Structure formats: structure tokens, C-alpha cells
């Protein structure tokens, strides 16, 4: 996609950029795309599309977190536009009913025979199977306070763990892809099922909340053998935590309404795919800290091997470099932190770029990358700890820019008859 | 997604707009989204995802046209940036090899063990199954002449049938989504397989061609029973031609290199989903000319019933209105024209709108709709005939805007050992 073929110049430009910045934080960080954590198979990968299966809706945890990852995702962040707490509660009640119905492959609201009215469901999922649809709801900071206002008398109920994220080095979060008072993510093995679900929820929110931003995503093919690969061509999510009670679900340390829930850090991470593709494989492997094809840690043979963080070569250099992504995201360097990564790739078309320095790259480039979604029990000891260091040190930052995202408190799942987040409003 | 709830005002605004324009052509036309043609089941619908199946690459026709429709599509239009005919030929040769390999779930180019070089394939489809990948290549008008230049000595070989489309009433084609000298569409039952394939082809084109625009798309779930529904909630593609030799494939009337090929009209059709969703069902059915849930023609009971274009009600009004989409796209009104519709829905996020007239609608709206793809033996007697009338008369135009697209000559499929379009360059 570029007019230049000069890989040498491009590589040296990279050196120049990182040198100029003093450290490798010129452009944000992928964050956590292929951390190695333990020797268990990935709970998220190695699945298979199953259009005729439904996922449970009611229960202690919302769907879409521990659920085996579906192929397609459609995420929407919404702003609340009412100032009436009762209307927010009513919306959550309506959303809960609709979500339970759609998860079971029904229309969002029962259809009527009366054709003199608009349809209660837009209809494009009629006769489509459930496709393992899950709907995962989250609350943004703005539900608790907005512009200093305790608009819904909920400020006192904001959990301590739900602290605003700091601005990390390299963050380039643009308003149009950032924040939101409410979030909903539809995941399904059929893209039309996912789109349909969010569309109905947005329609049901008319007058109460309005879309702020959206993001579509796709997972590495679910029929893949073993761990899927992200758009950098490396295995992503080799290992995720298996101890959900310890790392993912909020326990008794949190308020009642968050128990069994989890905190979501979402980050829209643009990847400079064209530049990445021009790097030689050995360099890519140094950046990642793993071998490209096997997924094994550098110096190792098998994907599931633990990282030897102290191994040195004959010259005394670390085999897994100091700035390697896999090293920096390793629990041993992060006070044991682990987060559940459930990322999707995204592909939002192409944009024109026109650089003003050597090698004067001009042309179309992808607006594509990773829609990182990390779930954790406490962001202060999860994402913040890990990304604080990575945002400054990770060699992968040369190719990544965080351009949007948000922090959302996803409450525990509703018991039958409850609505999502009911205990927050009780 | 709107701040206003006044459906009456909105409905009357619709009346105003169409009145103001004098006829229902205010905003382009969907073109052909649910034409009824014959009583055969749809060759495109009712399929099933099959991740482990491959589609044939070599043969008299390119894949991705008569192929049972896959779930995901990634389309790219490219501009040729070289002035050397030999480089274009070489690109087509390289593309052919890569496409044949990827269709069989191989890397675009064989991988090397030498890690001191960039990888010959970006790798994100490693270990993914074929997912019924097809790659369909097309030639735009710019391959033949560009800005009046016969740049590749091909101008004399441009087929008569490959005539520029007229500007239709309502067309709002924006440069960033329109045209291109070359096209490639990847269709697959896995979105990552589709993205991967186009990415490799674009990379292989470095220095010869560059992306102009791209479009992702998704089909109604392939496990649906019967005909899929588009985002308007109506069945789309109820009937497609079954006589491909008559309506789809170029025959002996065309030049040798187009025999077994087909002409593609692509149109990015934005649908005002929010407005459509606020219309009552009876009105939507009048617009379409069919019942929403059964898909039957108005006045009929079953989807497969032929349209009775002369039926009148007790007041003498046509049962299927004069401006109904299904009437206007019917072969009886179009000199028997039929085209193969192989459309995908698209969803490219949301945009801010702020109207300056009643009901002063402000807020976010979807950039979503239909990526219409119509294949035909001759556009002059296919799309042009049908859309000429529809662009002026179709009641559906109130909700649709054609915002991009292109016309491409897709040559016949390559025999083993040939490259795509070889006979054009011979």
C-alpha cells in the first residue's frame, strides 16, 4: 500500500523515531496482545462456530466474558441523555427483557399483527438461529457522576476499584471512539445476529440514551487449531487466566451489585500493518518475545513453555529482550497481575496518509488493528499495573496507537426476574 | 438514536420531501433489493457455513459469482500506479498464483525459513481452514483508458457492453467509495480469512497498484431457513436468475477474454435505518410491494408466488402500488432483464447528523446499509434498464442513498496455468 519499497530506510526511520522519543513509547502500546501466563490451554480459543447453540442469559455472571469467544462482535458505548433516574432503571429493565429474548433467538419484543404501527423489532434476524449470542452490559463513570454532577444519586455507590484510568504515555484517544455512560457488546457466531441485537437495544433506548461510538470486530477463525492469531500474525491470548474467581470476577471486596461482575478495559488499538509487514521476521520475534510460527517463547520450542526471563545468550544478552512484549506483560513483572483478554480484530477501511519526512510514505493505509478487551477483578492491580510499564517500554509500541476505548463496570449477571444492575439501583 | 419521538412529524416530513422533489427520487434507490423473478428457490440463500470446505479456483468461471454466498465479504478497489503494461501483467500472474494458494488454505506465497527477511505472508490465517474462500477479480474502466490515455494499449479491447454507467437521479457517489482500475472481492465463511486474503494481494501489488477504497460486508446468517433478510428486515434476493448462461455469463457476443465472465455493478447503498424503523409495517409493505414477514407479494400468501401486477382492490387501486420496489424491478417492466444479486449488508459505525428543518433531528445515525453487487451478462440490458426506472420511481428511494460503487468487468475464470485476464493481454 506504499509507494516506497525501501525497507532499509523504513527500518532506520523506526530507529530514528524511537531514538528521538528517548524510549519506545512514540505511539502507544498494543497492550497485552500475547502475554504468556501459565501452561494451560486458552479458554478463549480453539472453539468452533455453533449457530444453533444458545448461551445462558440468567445467572451469577453476564454472558460474553467467560463464554467461549464467538466469531463476531459489535460493541456500542452510549451516552445517557435523560436526567431521570427512573428512566435509566426502566431502560435497564427493558434491555434485560430484550436481551434475554434475543439470546434465545426471539425478537427483542414480541411482534404484533397490527401493521398500522412500526414493528417492535426490525426483523433482520427473523429465522436466524441463536448463533451463541451474548449481550454484555457495562456502566461507565458517567453513570455515577457527569461533569461533577451526581445526576442519578449514584455517586456514593461508585466502587473504589472503578477509578479513572490515568493517561498513559502514547495515548491518542480520540473523542469519537472513547468513553460512554453505558456499554453493550453483542458477540455471536453470525455478524447479522450481533448487529441486530445492538440495533434493537439502541432503538429501545430512544429518548434515554444515544449511541456515542461503536466498534465491530472479528476473532481469529474459531475452527482454528489452538490459539488464534491477531493481525500481526502472532498467536494472541496464548494463555489466559484459568482462576476466574481470583483474577476476573469481583468478590466480597466489591459492592453487592458488582459481585460476580468484572471491570472491562476496552482499547481500540490501531496497528501500522504496512510497517509491521515490512519488518523481518527475526525483528518481529524480538519485539514480541516469541517465535512467530510456533508461538514458543524465544529460545523455546513449544507454545505452552513458560518464559525463561533470565536466560542469556553466549554474549550475555537476554534471550527475551528487555523491551519484549511478552516479558513486559508477564505476571512476574507485574506483581502477579493477570487479566482475561478477549480481544477482537477490527478493520474499518482505509485512510490516506502523507508523511513529511523520509521515506515520505504516502498512500492509503488500513484503519485496522485490535479491539482489546480485558476483564479483571480490579483494574488498579490489573490493566493499570501492566500497562503502566508497557506503555513506556514495550518495543511493540512502535507499531501501535491506542486511539479509543473506555472503562466499564460490568455488574454480576441477573437472577431470573432481576434486571441488569438492579442491585445498584436498589 | 434520535432525540425526537414524534413519528407523525417524521412521517409528514417524508411526505414533504417527496412532494418537494415532485417524485420519489429524493435520495437514490436501493436498486433491486427484493425483486421477484421466478418461482425457483434462491441460489444464493439457505446455505450453511462450512469452514472446512474449499471452493474451486480454476475453471471457466471465477469463484464468488455463482458460488453459494459466504457469510463475509471484503471488497477492495485499487488504482494502478504504474504505466508499464508488463508490470500489470506480472501482477495478475502473481495474484493468480496467490489466489489459487489461498483458496486452498495455503499462505499467499510459500513461507521461508529465513527470518532475516520480512515474511512472505502476514500469517494471521495460518492454521485457519479454507472457509470456502473465493477471490473474484475485476477490471475497471481505468485499465482501458485513464484521463483519455490508452496507457496500456488496451483501449481497443474494451467491450461495448462495458460502457460507463449514466449518472442516475439521486446518485451521491463520493470519490472515497467509488471507482477503481482493479477490483478484488474476498468472500469467506470466516472474516479473518477474507481480510487476510485481500491484505496479501494488496501487499503483492506494492509499487503497481494501491488501494482506492474497501468495503466489508456480511450476509444474512447462512443457517437461516430460506431467503435471508437485509437490514430493512425484508427478505432479500427471494429469486435470482437460474439461467446463468442467459443472464449472468458473457457468451460469444463478448470478446474471448470475457467469455464465462460477468459484469459487476457494485453500489454502496446507505439505508436510513432509523427512519425506516419508525415507519409502520403497512407502509413498509407498500414501499416494498411484499408482506414483511411471509415475503409474499402484496395480496398473496407465499413467498414464491408470482407477482400479480394487474390486481386491483375494490376501489380500483393497484394492490402492488405503482411505485413499489418489487413492481419496478420486475422483469415484465424491464424488457425481461434479470441480474444476479449477491449483496452484503454493511455496518461502518455511526456519524453525527444535525438537521436544519422540522423535526430538527439531531444525533448519531448508522452508516449502514447494503453493499449491492449485481452480476450480469450486459449492464446495458441489465442494471441500467432496471435502475433507470427505479432511480426515478421507486418509493424505497426515500430511505436510500447510493454513496459509492463501481463497474467492473470480471473476466472468465483461468484455466490451470493461465493467469486471470490473460486472454485480454494476449
Q: Report which of residues A21 and B162 the model is more confident about.
A: B162
Cβ within 8 Å, pair B363-A116:
no
* Other C-beta atoms lying within 10 Å of the C-beta of residue B115: 16
**pLDDT value for B225:** 61
Domains and CATH numbers, chain A: 1-46+263-411 (no CATH), 49-111+118-142+171-223 (3.30.70.100)
Pick from A125, A128, A220: which is nearest to B124 by CB?
Answer: A220
* Closest residue in chain B to residue A188, using alpha carbons only: B221
**pLDDT value for B22:** 24
Buried b (16+ CB within 10 A) or exposed e, B9-32: ebeebbeeebeeeeebbbbbbbbb
The owner of cell 442513498 is B401
Percent of chain B with pLDDT over 70: 87
Min Cα separation B231/chain A (Å): 6
Question: What proportions of chain B, in percent to the nearest 5, are helix, strand and coil?
Answer: 25, 20, 55
What are B298-319's pLDDT values in tens digits?
A: 999 999 899 999 999 999 999 9
**pLDDT value for A360:** 77
**pLDDT value for A50:** 81
- CA angle centred on A270, ends A269 and A275, rounded to 5°: 135
Cβ within 8 Å, pair A123-B345:
no
Min Cα separation B106/chain A (Å): 14
Q: What is the mean pLDDT of residues A168-192?
A: 96
Q: What is the mean pLDDT of residues A322-342?
A: 93
What are B106-155's pLDDT values in tens digits?
A: 999 999 999 999 999 999 999 899 999 999 999 999 999 999 999 999 99
CA distances from A371 to A73, A75, A126 (A): 10, 10, 29
Which of B298, B105, B294 lies closest to B190, judged by CA? Answer: B105
Q: What is the Cα gyration radius of chain B?
A: 22
Min Cα separation B260/chain A (Å): 31
Under the banding of pLDDT at 50, 70 and 90, the label for residue B211 is very high
What are B149-182's pLDDT values in tens digits?
A: 999 999 999 999 999 999 999 999 999 999 999 9
Q: Report which of residues B360 and A215 the model is more confident about.
A: A215
Buried b (16+ CB within 10 A) or exposed e, A314-326: eeeebbbbebbbb
Query: What is the pTM for the complete model shown?
Result: 0.88
**pLDDT value for B176:** 92
Compute the residue count for chain A: 426
Question: Rounded distance, CA B119 to CA A109, Å?
Answer: 50
* Other C-beta atoms lying within 10 Å of the C-beta of residue A15: 10
Q: What is the 3-state secondary structure (H, E, C) of B164-187?
A: CCCCCCCCCCCHHHECCCEEEEEE
Under the banding of pLDDT at 50, 70 and 90, the label for residue B50 is confident
**pLDDT value for A351:** 87
* Other C-beta atoms lying within 10 Å of the C-beta of residue B277: 22
Chain A CB contacts of B213 below 8 Å? 349-350
- On whether the CB atoms of residues B272 and B365 are closer than 8 A, the answer is yes
DSSP A156: G
Percent of chain A with pLDDT over 70: 87
Percent of chain B with pLDDT over 90: 79
Which of B276, B363, B396, B282 lies closest to B18, judged by CA? Answer: B396
Q: What is the mean pLDDT of residues A125-143?
A: 95
The tally of CA atoms less than 13 A away on the side-chain side of residue B373 is 30
Q: Report which of residues A210 and A9 the model is more confident about.
A: A210
Which of A16, A335, A346, A93 lies closest to A213, judged by CA? Answer: A346
Chain A CB contacts of B186 below 8 Å? none
Min Cα separation A385/chain B (Å): 29
| pLDDT reading at A392 higher than 90 | yes
Buried b (16+ CB within 10 A) or exposed e, B196-223: bbbbbbbbbbbebbbbbbbbbbbbbbbb
**DSSP H or E stretch at residue B349:** strand B344-354
Query: Which ipTM score applies to this complex?
Result: 0.88
* Other C-beta atoms lying within 10 Å of the C-beta of residue B230: 25
Cβ within 8 Å, pair A350-B126:
no
Cβ within 8 Å, pair A124-B273:
no
What are A198-228's pLDDT values in tens digits?
A: 999 999 999 999 999 999 999 865 545 677 8
Cβ within 8 Å, pair A115-B280:
yes
Among B91, B176, B188, B191, most A C-beta atoms within 10 A, so best to mutate, is B191
Q: What is the mean pLDDT of residues B371-393?
A: 96
Under the banding of pLDDT at 50, 70 and 90, the label for residue B41 is very low
**Grid cell at residue A415:** 437472577
Q: What is the mean pLDDT of residues A189-200?
A: 96
Buried b (16+ CB within 10 A) or exposed e, B120-144: bbbbbbbbbbbbbbbbbbbbbbbbb
- Write the CB contacts of A211 (distance below 8 Å, at least 6 apart in sequence): A76, A77, A78, A202, B1, B350, B364
Judged by DSSP in three states, B270 sits in: strand
Considering only the C-alpha atoms of chain A, give the largest distance between any 2 of them, rounded to a whole number of Å. 80
Q: What is the mean pLDDT of residues A128-143?
A: 96
Helices assigned H by DSSP within B187-235: 191-204
Question: Rounded distance, CA B118 to CA A6, Å?
Answer: 12
Min Cα separation B128/chain A (Å): 5
Amino acid at each position: 500500500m506504499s509507494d516506497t519499497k525501501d525497507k532499509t530506510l523504513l527500518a532506520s526511520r523506526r530507529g530514528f523515531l524511537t531514538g528521538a522519543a528517548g524510549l519506545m513509547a512514540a505511539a502507544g502500546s498494543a497492550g497485552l496482545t500475547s502475554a504468556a501466563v501459565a501452561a494451560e490451554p486458552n479458554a478463549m480459543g480453539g472453539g468452533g462456530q455453533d449457530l444453533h447453540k444458545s448461551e445462558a442469559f440468567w445467572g451469577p455472571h453476564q454472558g460474553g466474558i467467560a463464554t467461549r469467544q464467538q466469531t463476531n462482535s459489535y460493541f456500542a458505548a452510549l451516552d445517557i441523555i435523560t436526567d431521570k433516574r427512573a428512566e435509566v432503571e426502566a431502560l435497564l429493565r427493558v434491555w434485560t427483557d430484550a436481551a434475554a429474548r434475543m439470546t434465545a433467538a426471539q425478537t427483542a419484543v414480541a411482534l404484533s399483527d397490527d401493521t398500522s404501527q412500526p414493528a417492535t423489532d426490525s426483523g433482520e434476524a427473523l429465522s436466524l438461529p441463536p448463533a451463541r449470542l451474548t449481550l454484555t452490559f457495562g456502566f461507565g463513570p458517567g453513570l455515577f457522576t457527569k461533569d461533577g454532577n451526581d445526576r442519578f444519586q449514584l455517586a456514593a455507590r461508585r466502587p473504589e476499584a472503578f477509578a479513572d484510568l490515568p493517561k498513559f504515555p502514547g495515548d491518542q484517544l480520540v473523542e469519537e471512539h472513547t468513553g460512554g455512560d453505558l456499554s453493550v457488546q453483542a458477540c455471536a457466531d453470525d455478524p447479522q445476529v450481533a448487529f441486530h441485537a445492538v440495533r434493537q437495544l439502541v432503538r429501545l433506548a430512544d429518548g434515554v440514551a444515544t449511541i456515542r461510538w461503536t466498534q465491530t470486530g472479528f476473532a481469529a477463525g474459531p475452527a482454528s487449531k489452538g490459539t488464534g492469531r491477531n493481525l500481526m500474525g502472532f498467536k494472541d491470548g496464548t494463555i489466559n487466566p484459568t482462576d476466574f474467581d481470583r483474577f476476573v470476577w469481583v468478590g466480597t471486596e466489591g459492592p453487592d451489585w458488582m459481585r460476580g461482575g468484572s471491570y472491562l478495559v476496552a482499547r481500540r488499538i490501531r496497528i501500522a500493518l504496512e510497517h509491521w509487514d515490512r519488518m523481518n521476521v527475526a525483528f518481529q520475534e524480538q519485539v514480541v518475545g516469541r517465535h512467530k510460527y510456533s508461538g514458543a517463547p524465544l529460545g523455546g520450542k513449544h507454545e505452552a513453555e513458560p518464559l525463561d526471563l533470565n536466560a542469556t545468550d553466549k554474549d550475555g544478552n537476554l534471550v527475551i529482550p528487555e523491551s519484549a512484549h511478552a516479558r513486559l506483560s508477564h505476571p512476574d513483572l507485574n506483581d502477579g497481575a493477570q487479566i482475561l483478554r478477549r480481544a477482537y480484530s477490527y478493520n474499518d477501511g482505509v485512510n490516506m496518509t502523507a508523511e513529511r519526512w523520509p521515506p515520505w510514505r504516502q498512500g492509503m493505509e488500513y484503519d485496522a488493528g485490535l479491539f482489546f478487551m480485558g476483564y479483571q477483578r480490579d483494574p488498579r492491580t490489573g490493566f493499570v499495573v501492566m500497562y503502566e510499564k508497557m506503555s513506556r517500554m514495550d518495543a511493540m509500541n512502535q507499531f501501535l496507537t491506542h486511539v479509543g476505548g473506555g472503562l466499564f463496570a460490568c455488574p454480576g449477571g441477573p437472577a431470573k426476574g432481576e434486571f441488569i444492575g438492579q442491585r445498584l439501583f436498589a
